[in-house]
Each structure stands twice: as C-alpha cells, then as structure tokens.
Structure 1
Amino acid sequence: MIHNIYKGKQKYPHVFQPLRLGNVRLKNRIICAPTSPSMITTQGHMTPEMTAYLVRKATGGAAVVTFGESIIHSKTGKSHDVQLQLDSQGIRQGLAQTARALHAAGALANIQLSHGGVYGVLTSVGGAQKSGDAWGASDIDLSQGHAKEMPKDMIREIISSYGDAAKLCKEVGFDMVQVHAAHGWLLSQFLSPYWNHRTDEYGGSLENRTRFLLEVLKEIKKRCGKNFPIEVRMNGDDFQEGGLTLEESIQVAKLIEDDCDLINVSCGNHEDPSMFQRTHPSSFFPHGVNVYLAAEIKKHVHIPIATVGAIQDPEQMEAIIANGQADVIEIARESLADPDLPNKALQDHVKDITPCVRCYECFGATGDWEMVKCAVNPIIGEESYHYEDLKQAKQKKKVLIVGGGPAGMEAAIIAHDRGHDVTLVDKNNQLGGNLRSAGAAYFKQDYLRLQEVLKHRVESRDIHVILNQNVNEEFIKIFAPDALFVAIGSVENQPPIPGLDNPIVVSAIDAELHPEKLGKKVVILGGGLVGSEGAIAWHHEGHECTLIEMLPEVALECNSFYRGGLLPRIQKAATILCNTKATEITNNGVWVSHLDGTKEFIEADSVVTALGYHSDTAMVDAFCDCVDEYYIIGDCKKVGKVYEAMSTAYFSALRV
C-alpha cells in the first residue's frame, strides 16, 4: 500500500525526478522561490516567526526553500526598511537555527544574496526615504533623487562582501546561495545598458557589463569551494526600452554558466509599477507567462535552468520540464496559498491544491503589517501560533452553518476536521457565494478554481449540505444547533437615486454572472474594485463603458501592487468620471452631477450598480439570538475581500 501514497510520482515523473547541483541532491524539481523579506528584526536578524514561515514551506515537500533579499552590504545596499542584513553583528544564530529547521523539515536551505543598488538609499517599494548617497552603475537622476556612479574601490568592497556573506551562510548550514542579478537591483543595473553608461571595464560591451556579476560568482566559489552550489537569478528580458533584451540575456547566461550551477530566469523590474505586474505576474497574464524566456536561454547553456512566474498547476509543471523548457520550477506566491502543493502533487491530490488568486495581499502585508499574509491561506504569517494539524474538539457539537460562500465552506471544513457534526445550508442551487461572480471575469479564473477546491473539500467530507433553502429563525430553532455560524454575506447598497428601479438597471453581481443582459453602452455606478474590474471585463466583451465615481480616484480600496496593474486597464476600458455622482436614472441613460456643480446626461443601454455592500445586521442579530453559541464570519461580519472571509471562518472554527 505504501507505493500508492506516491502515485503522483508516476503521473509527474519529470517533476519528481531528482537533480544534482554540486554537492547537493534535490529530491524533486520544485523550489520555493524567495518571498517576503518581512518578519525580520530592526537589527536585520531572523525572527522565530520567519523561521516558522519558511519551515511551513519545507514541510510541504519542496526540494529547496529559499529566503529572499538578504543584504550583503548594509550601508549601501539595504533596499527595504526591514531586511535581513548578513553583515549585522549577531546574525549567525538565527540563520543557523533556520537552516537546521529547514533540514529537519526535509528541505535544502537556500538564501538569496542581494544589494539594492540605487534603491539601497533612495525610496523603494519596500522602504521609505533613507539618508546617504545612493550608488549604482552610473550617475542617474530618478524621481526619488540622484544616484552616483559606484567607484571601483566600492565595487571591489561589495564583491568581497558577497564572498563574506556566502561563506557565512555556508558555515551556518545553508546548502546553497542565490545571487540576485535581476529585477532592477545592483547587479541587474550593471547588466542593463539602460542603467550602465560606464566607460571603464565594468561598462560598454556586454562582456564588461557582466564583469561585476562574474567576479561576484568567482569570489563565492573561491570562498565556498567549487562544489557549493550557486544559483543566479537573472532577467530573461528587462522589458524596458534601452534595457537588457532576451538576445543579450542569452549571452549573459553563456558568460556565467561555468561559474554557477543553476540559472533562474525571471524578468522586469520590481521597482517599476508598470513592470511589477509582469515580474510577479498578475491575473491579467496567463500562468507561466515568462516560461518562454527560460526555454530560450536553456537552448544555449549546459547547466540547469529554472523558471518562475505564476506556475501552480502540476500538469503545467510536468509539461514544462518534459518539453525541455526548464529543469526546475520555482513557486513563490503559490507556496503561500498552499505550501503543500509539492506533496499534494506527489500524492496525486491535485484537486485539493489551494490556488493563488494573484491578489497581491501578500505583498501588501509586507508594508502595512511588516509581515506576510495570504488571502486564501489564513495561517500564513501565523505559523508560530497556529498550524494546520488541527486539534480535535473536546466535545463533539452539532454545528449549523448558514451560507455556502468561501467563509461558510471554510468554516464547515475546519469544524468537520475538528470532529464536529456539520450541516451547511445555502439559499442557492450551488455552493460558492460571491466566488461565482468574482471569478466570472476573463482574468479572474483563479477564483473559480478556489471555488471548486473548497467545494471538493466539502463534498469529500461527511458534511451535510442543504441547497435551495432559505433560512429563518424558525429553521434555526427547529434545527437546534449547539453552535451556529452566520455566513450570509452582504447586500448591495441602495442609495436614494431616482430611477434606481428602472428596467435598464442591473446589479454588478447579476451583470458579472449574466453579461448577456447588458446592452452596448454601459454606465457603471461606483468605481470601487467591483465596478472597476467589471468595466475591464465588459469592455473585453465588446461593451462601451463609462465609470462614475464620487471619489477623486477609482479602486482606492485595493492594495497598491494590484492597483498598479489595474489602473492602466481601467483607463483603456472605460471613460472615467471621478468626483461625479449619479442624480437620476432614466430609460435611456443617467444624469450626473460633477464636482463643480455642472450636470451631464450620459446615454446608456444598461446601468450597472456597483455602489458597495453592507451587512444585513438585523438578520444577523436575529439568527444569533436563536442560539447560545454563535460565530459571525465573512461579509456579514465586515464587508471585505476573500482574505477576511477565509480568515474569520478558519479562526472562528478553531474556537468551537
């Protein structure tokens, strides 16, 4: 029977084939790529929370877990406010404990060595304004300030710092290092003709621009030995006018291949808002959008190539390796959404893999909270306090959950797994709640995948599901639960706009699920996330959209990382009227009033209301009054996004 545990090994033989890199052997071809430099002390040291976060990835079955953006030269290269500093006094203990913990959990320990270059002092995505001189490949003026050309003596000092850092990491137990030469950081700046205008041996020709990176690699090999593996993360394309092209990246790979063991091909610039969405592919890009860059470089080198960028389907992983496009798959946000992805693939439990919905909640939390979170995995960032090996309840209870959206399904799953007798009731003919409408747009299919995963988990358990059932106080009293979960979602706001009951008016949810109800000209009332994403989707389907928003800007409630990719697409999809409110809806359009008091009539075949949502507190209170033990979860607790729904459900179910 034991061999059946690993039947995914036969289904994905290339993914689960070992790989030798120097003196280490990878048990499979999945590496957890660097994520989140947060959860670090102000002295630049590891915290128990960060170690636990990394270990959780290791227990999921990845061959290697990589910690990201460790700074090798703090006085010039610290690109984030909170960041691991490998030249900080007292750094060794936390590093050693982390390496040991990763080994104990079954993974090899990798660490990314980085320097921010011009962003080491100037404002970056991950850091506020800092003092001191900024140093890069050449003198350059940026919106954040001026950066100076790095002198040769500083280059030599930094090369030595890379060697010091790599040697330290080896000594405390790390199995390999990754040299970060991508995403617009220092070594990427030297490689790029956009940044590098030097006339000495570190500028000009491609060979000269690669010299800094090569000398770093040789220094690490000299200090750590030829069999200590070095991974290099480099861009396959800068996607920047005047930057490194794929053709030049191929030549860089050929220049460095004898001095490293694995090349990780990424792209773009972390600090360019328009490029961030490609470096970390948003939902507007297909999964694996950057694989072709790795595939092309692989044709020209003799060492293994890794690819990265929104790859989360084991079938796709297998095809990439089997077709010779790459040798290794690196997963980043996917390892937060479901750290167990490798093990679930190995055991052929692919239907149970929680998908990353590419909402950038993880990135947003690094700035807002100085930690990490995940919209679809409540315990990410909380591993020190909570773990998915759920404690059985001391007393088995009869649990009723009203509402089959993401919150209701998650609560049902966790309550069942803790030993309770669970009944899940929903008024609709299928489970899913707002995930159905959230995933209706062409670029949000990941939400439908999440819906299917949660439904699969419910259906594979002994959870009693009742559909097409409206619940009221009498139903709850007759059912007589020991514990009640209220997960009834939210209701749409109905402001007193004359004509809101006009036949041409369609709610946003109805329009998302049934776009065929919309006419050619669509006016959308409300420029929040729902209205903004709707405009993009309906424009894609051929509608002419106008977006009406009372606030000065649209989509203000979403995090800056997602918004950076959203705004350009909204602007292409719709005529945007901010500081504007609808005053009346007629049979053929909408009267609006602008901030200056002027009025305008906008023709419309359909008017979509995306005016926000609120909890039906009266119904929530009435339901709660029927029982002694109750839990309010999801939108009916506080209108929010998937993160709030999944998180309130998970942690509430732990308390029953």
Structure 2
Amino acid sequence: MKDSALKKLFSPLQIGGVTIKNRIMSTGHDTVLPTDSTVNEKLIAYQISRARGGVGLIVLQVSGVHETARYTSHILMATDDSCIDGYRKISDAVHQYGTKIFAQLFHPGKEILETNDGLLLPAFAPSAVPTDRYHVTPRAFSGRMIKEIIEGYGDAARRMEAGGIDGVEIVSSHGNLPAQFLNPLSNLRTDEYGGDAKKRRYFLEQVIANIRSKTSPGFVVGLRISVDEMYENGLQEEDALEAICALEQRLSYVNVTLGSAATNSGAMHIAAPMMFKAGYVTPMAERVKKRVSIPVFVTGRINQPQDAEAILAAGHADMCGMTRALIADPEMPNKAEAGRLDDIRACIACNQSCIGRFQKSVSISCIQNPVSGRETRFGNIVRSAEPKKIAVIGGGLAGMKAAVAARERGHNVTLFEASPALGGQALIAQLVPERSEFGGAVTNLLREIELSRVSVRLNTEVDRSVIDDFAPDAIILATGAIPYIPPYEQLGDLDVVQANDVLRDKAKCGHSVVIADWSANWVGIGTAVKLSRSGCRVRLAVNGAVPGELIQNYTRDYLNGLLHSCGVEVIPYARLYGVDTGTVYLQHTANRDAIVLEDVDTLVLASASVAVDALAEELDSYPGNIRLVGDCLTPRTAEEAIFEGFAAGIAI
C-alpha cells in the first residue's frame, strides 16, 4: 500500500533523456570500497543494496578525470578505456531495479589528501594560493595542463556513457577545482581563465562544452556546487549564483550544497553532524530554485521521507539527497512508499562509520547497520535449519542488536535487562548537549525488537542460577561497562563526581569546575558545555592534544568551536595526578611537568570504563555456547558494540 502523504517524493522526474522514478537520491560519496581505481564487486554489491531498496537515483562516487586528480589512494579513475567495463557492470546492476545512475567527474585541484605509499603528491590549482585545512601550497596550472584536464572531463564522460551511465555530475562543490576557478580569491590568473566573473567561468564553460561534444544529446550533465563555502575566503553566494545562472542553459540540473574542504568551518558541511537541523540547506536551494528553470537538487541532513516530502511539496527543490539515510537503511524508499515509516532505521548523523571510516581510509559502514559496506560478507543471512534457544544478557546497543540478529537467523531469543529500560549507555549519551539525536539508535533498535518479536525481560538480574533454570543453548553476554575510577592522590576535602552523574542531573557541582577528561570523546566536551551553560566556570583538562580527539573531525571541530563560544578553558596534554582542598594537580603528558589548577570547587571525572564481566566468570563451566560482545568484552564505542552484537547473533 503506497503512502499518499508522500505523493511528491514518489513522483517521477524527467531530466534530459532520463526519467527518474522518484525524488530520492543517493549523492556521490566516497566508500573506500574500490581497491585499484576501478569499480569492483564490493562497490557493485553496495549500490545494488540501495537500488533494490527503491532509491530513484544513485550518483556514483567521484571519478578522476586526470592523473593529477588522484586525491586519495581509493579514488575511481576514468582516464582510460579500461574503466568502461566496470561502469557497465554497475549500471547494469542498478538498472535492473529501475534505478538510474550518474557518475561524478572530479578534480580536487589543491585539495589533495593522501596516496598509497604516504608520499605527498604535488598539488595543482588555478593559482599558488595555500589551502588552510590541508596545509598545501599548490603549483599553478600551466595553460597546457588546463587544456588536458578539460579534455579529460569530456573523455571521462564519453567512457561513462559507453559504460551505460545515465549522466554525469561535475563536482564543483566543497572547494574542488571548478570552484577554485570561480573564486576570485583562489583564482589570481591573468590569462583567459582568470580575471572578471565571466573569465573565471571560462574553465567550467569549456568543461561542459567538451562533455557535450563527446556525449549524445540526451545525456545528462549536471553541476554540484557549494553555493556558499562557509568561510571568508571561500566562494561566496553572489559569485556562485551568478555562475549557476550563466551556465544554466548548458546544464541538465544543479545540485546545491554548502561548505568547503579547505577549512574547518566549511568542511563540517560535507557531512553535517547531528548538531545541524534536518534539511538546513533547503533555504539556499530555494534561492537557487527562484533563479533557474532547470531542476534543482538539494542535500544536507535530509534523513526522513517526511522532511524530503515537505521540501519537494513546497517547491524548494526537485530532488532530495538522502545519502546517510540510505546508508543506515537501504530499504528506506521501499518502506516509505509502503507507508511503513516507523520501520525505517533513521540516520542519527553521528558520522562515525560513514565519513569517519573514509577519513581513516577504511571502507564505509554505519554504526546502526553493519551490513552497509559489507554486503558481500553479510548481505545474505540464511535462517538456521535448527532453531536454538538463545539468552542475550544485557539490553544496551550490543545486546539489542544481538537479539535482533539472532531472531533473523530464526532462533528463539530472550533478552534480559537488569534495569527498567533498554538502551544502556546510549540513554546517557543522548543527554550530552548537542547529542540528543543519538537516542535515535535506541528508538530504532526498539522497533527492530518489536518487529522481530524478541522476548524481553526487564528488571531481571541474571546470575548462574537464572541461566541454569532458563537452560539456553547459547548465551550472548552484553553486560556493558561502568566508569573506571583512576588512581590519584587525595588530600584535603574536594568534591569529586562522575561525568555520567552530572549528565543525568544526579550530581551537583560548585561554581568552579575542573573536568579531568581521560576519554577525549563526547563525554568531557558535553559535560563542559552543560556546566558552562548553567553558569559554572569550567576548565576542561583533556588527556589528548585536543578535546574530542577520538571522534570524527567534523563533529570534533564543531564541538571545539562550541567550547570556545561557551568560554571553556581547555588544557590539553593533561593527566589527573591528585587533588587537595580547592586544588587539582595534573601532569603534562608530554614533558611530565606539573599543572596546578587552584580555586576549584568540584572535580568531574570523565574517565575510562571497565567491563562488567562477573557473569562471564560464573558461566565459565556452562556447557553451552557463550559469546561476549561490546563493552563487556572490552569497552569501546557504539560501533563495535552493535557490530559485535550483530556478528554474534548471525553466527549462532
């Protein structure tokens, strides 16, 4: 049964010679699945999952158009005809589900990241203007090289069309090469490619013309562009809008986004974390829509079908990029069209396993959906021929996912939880300022448990006698962890509390607070923001180079900006040594010098965690199959907890 409330979202869109079945798009995003610069089995399986799930349009990750475009070691390359076969395989694979596929034409200019062997590649750009974030000073292109690159765009598009790709998207977003030509502060050339706005557009005009000359008339040619790069020296809205309007008649569509890879303030818009509201780029798309007659695409934290429908129905855009929503739940379009909105595993924009894994040069996934990026490994879960009686002990994220996965295998599963509610540490994580959406991970798993009909026993402490009475064939232990109290010298009388208790409003703090942040993650920063907003003087002493050192950098950068705005004093490289009345003693972790902080009313410990694993020892002689997952195995993050719960559940 179709959801009539999503009428616009599931209406077709005609672009050039291509009809797209609905208005849901998976935007171009790096997956780190290719291993030799060509389309491979893992990438095809990843995109098949989204096509099977009902997405209307897939925009393939970037493909380099020239050898100087190799900004990472895992980029696709479209610089010779050997790439055609891979494009043919992936286009054939997604076309069988009625999904259309475009491919991104890419040159980063000066935004070079890394290579296979760690050497820094030479970077090229319109002019020798340094880039702040990557600390790169490029070499200015020669006129001859510019002409080679223009030809490269056209040749790449020709190869993609030969491989069955339905259209191409020129990547001018996030400060990449075409935007560097458009920007008067990065394009200082005095030849035909630089000067006034018309001359700065000449490169893009030549690129589009070259593509058009080498592809068929109905072939789609779009432009992805950051209409505001969100920093002072970036491409500004006025210049971007002028370029879009001037190029409109040459393009099939324009794909609107914000931000730039060149600076911290701009880069966080590449994959905006949960602190940004849903659909926050829409006002910019609306301004573009009023100026042009070609279709306008928009992206930027559109993670629910209802939000996309509202954008489309209001006429603010013609297509919605919902990339991370599709990473979290590839079946989202099919579920939405069938009216099963509550069954969608909603993205929480944690950035941990999607963009975060890319930045570690490891393949894409999702903390909520371990199958994403691992389709060739986990894409076909077979029901067990011999259903077993399974006990899952602990109702945090690991235990919840383990229970659902074991049910998917066909087992009879009972989930035991000692507290009155499922969710574990995630229930505390959602209390952190700017992180309330993390609670969506619990909401999603609760729905999965309901749908899979896992039996749940709350307020149930489990010991060996309970296990003996229940007599399961297999046990998955997911009993989590508790805060670790670090050793430190204690003299005098100073109030010491736990960060978790502060977040739960179970501990009160004095006016002057020091936070000893061993974890260098969300907890210390969140506690500092909460206390600062309540009027406290806060000093955040972090055992790392920067607060949030261990979390994804777009999120970390936003939060460090928030700390600065809140007036929190940050003390890096600091380990707790001891306390006295009114004084906290720290040690600098690099040179071992003392750091003495005076006039302290309360010390807050944002420390490590220690596994709760006593039950594992009690069950050492139990004859059944026992698996430990998540923090009770060893404390780590939600990603490991959910992955291990899933892997344990399907392994039984």
Scaled to the shorter chain, the TM-score interval is over 0.9
Q: Equivalences for 1:473-552 in 2 at 5 Å?
A: 473-498=464-489, 504-514=495-505, 517-527=508-518, 528-529=520-521, 530-552=523-545
Would the alpha carbon gap of residues 508 and 145 (structure 1) be closer, same or farther in structure 2, given more than 3 Å must change?
Answer: closer
Contact persistence 1:249–1:297 (CA under 8 A): no
CA 619–523 in structure 1, closer or farther in 2 if over 3 Å, else same: farther
State yes or no: 1:331 paired with 2:327.
no
1:368 aligns with 2:346: no
Change (3 A) 1:638 1:432: same
Q: Counterpart in 2 of 1:31?
A: 25
Q: CA deviation at 1:635?
A: 0.8
Q: Secondary structure at the match of 1:368?
A: coil
Q: 2:96 aligns with which of 104, 107, 116?
A: 104
Q: Are 1:400 and 2:400 an aligned pair?
A: no
SS at match of 1:279: coil
Q: Give 3-state SS (helix, strand or coil) of 1:82's partner.
A: coil
Is contact 1:235-1:268 (8 Å) kept? yes
Give the 3 Å change call, closer, same or farther, for CA 504–200 of structure 1 in structure 2. same
By how many angstroms is 1:519 displaced? 4.1
Correspondence 1:340-419 to 2 at 5 A: 340-360=331-351, 361-387=353-379, 389-419=380-410
440-449 or 419-428, which deviates more? 440-449
Post-superposition offset of 1:214: 1.9
Cα distance per residue 1:137-173 (max 9 Å; x no partner): 1233457454233233322222221111111111110
Question: Structure 2 CA distance, aligned partners of 1:171 and 1:270?
Answer: 32
CA–CA distance in structure 2, aligned partners of residues 542 and 124 of structure 1: 44
Give, in angstroms, the shift of residue 37 of structure 1: 4.9
Residue identity matched to 1:623 = L
Contact 1:177 1:229 in 2 (8 A): yes
TM-fit CA distance, 1:412: 1.1
Query: 1:72 and 2:61 equivalent?
Result: no
Q: Deviations over 1:464-506 (max 9, x none)?
A: 2111121112111111111111000012111233559989433
Alignment-derived partner of residue 5 in structure 2: 11
Cα distance in 1 for residues equivalent to 2:172 and 2:574 = 46
Please give the residue correspondences for 1:269-348 in structure 2 after superposition, counting only pairs within 5 Å.
269-348=260-339
Whether the aligned pair in 2 keeps the contact of 1:16 and 1:346 (CA below 8 Å) is: yes
1:234–1:264 contact (8 Å) kept in structure 2: yes
Please say if 1:83 is aligned against 2:108.
Answer: no
The one of 549, 572, 577 aligned to 1:578: 572
Deviations 1:320-376 (Å, cap 9, x if unpaired)? 111222111012222212222222221222222223333333223235354222222
- For residues 577 and 304 of structure 1, the distance between their equivalents in structure 2, rounded to whole angstroms, comes to 50
Listed as ranges, the matches of 1:581-620 within 5 Å are: 581-585=575-579, 590-593=584-587, 597-598=593-594, 600-620=596-616
Aligned to 1:567: 560
1:123, CA displacement in angstroms? 4.4
Residue identity in the other structure for 1:41: T
Q: Which runs of 5 or more structure 2 residues have no equivalent in the other structure?
A: none
Q: Residue 124 of structure 2 corresponds to which residue in structure 1? A: 135
SS at match of 1:390: coil
8 A contact 1:126–1:367 mirrored in 2: no
Bigger mean CA deviation after superposition, 21-30 or 558-567: 558-567
Match of 2:645 in 1: 649
Amino acid at match of 1:11: A
Contact 1:178 1:233 in 2 (8 A): yes
Provide the residue aligned with 1:61 in structure 2.
54
Counterpart pick for 2:625 among 629, 632, 639: 629
Aligned 8 A contact 2:547 2:556 in 1:
no
Structure 1 residue 25 displacement after superposition: 0.8
Q: Percent of aligned positions with the same letter in both sequences? A: 27
Once residues 243 and 556 of structure 1 are traced to their aligned partners in structure 2, the CA distance between those partners, rounded to angstroms, is 26
**Structure 1 residues 227 and 311, CA gap change in structure 2 (3 angstroms):** same
Report the more deviating stretch, 282-291 or 49-58. Answer: 282-291
Instruction: Give 1:51's aligned amino acid.
Output: I
Partner of 1:226: 217
Partners of 2:289 and 2:403 lie apart in 1 by 46
Q: Which residue of 2 aligns with 1:166?
A: 157
How many correspondences in the alignment?
Answer: 644
Alpha-carbon distance change, 225 to 612 in structure 1, aligned in 2, over 3 angstroms = same
- 1:247 deviation in Å? 2.1
Partner of 1:41: 35
For residues 116 and 185 of structure 2, the distance between their equivalents in structure 1, rounded to whole angstroms, comes to: 23
Tell me how far 1:279 sits from its aligned partner. Answer: 2.6
Aligned counterparts of 1:551 and 1:214: Cα–Cα separation in 2: 48
Amino acid at match of 1:539: S
TM-aligned CA deviation for residue 70 of structure 1: 0.3
Gaps of 5+ in 1: none
TM-score by length of 1: 0.92
In structure 2, what residue type is equivalent to 1:616? Answer: V
How far off its partner does 1:261 sit? 1.3
Runs of 4+ in 1 over 6 A off after TM superposition: 500-503
Partner of 1:193: 184
How much has 1:558 moved relative to structure 2? Answer: 2.8
Q: Is the CA contact 2:433–2:526 (under 8 Å) kept in the aligned structure 1? A: no
What's the C-alpha RMSD, in Å, of the aligned pairs?
Answer: 2.5
Q: Work out the CA distance in 2 between the residues paired with 1:466 and 1:313.
A: 31
Q: Secondary structure at the match of 2:321?
A: strand
- 3-state SS of the aligned residue for 1:187? helix
8 Å Cα contact 1:124/1:271 also seen in 2 = no
